[in-house]
Amino acid sequence: MPSATPVSVVILASGAGSLASALLDAAEDDNYPGNVVAMVTDRECAAEQSARRRGVETAIVPMVSDRGEWDRTLADTVAAYKPDLVVSAGFMKILGSEFLTRFGGRIINAHPALLPSFPGAHAVADALAHGVKVTGSTIHLVDEGVDTGPILAQAPVAVQSGDDEITLHERIKMVERVLLVAVVRSIATKGVVIEGRKAHIP
Among 111, 130, 169, 200, which one carries the catalytic annotation?
A: 111
Cα distance between residue 20 and residue 138, in whole Å: 15
CA 46 to chain centre: 16
Residue 18 Cα distances to 21, 24, 36, 66, 143, angstroms: 5, 10, 15, 30, 24
Length of the chain: 202
Side-chain-side CA neighbours of 182 within 13 Å: the count stands at 13
Is 122 tagged catalytic? no
What is d(CA 79, CA 152) in angstroms, rounded to the nearest whole number?
24
Q: Report the C-alpha gap between 171 and 9 in whole angstroms.
A: 26
Q: Which residues are catalytically annotated? A: 111
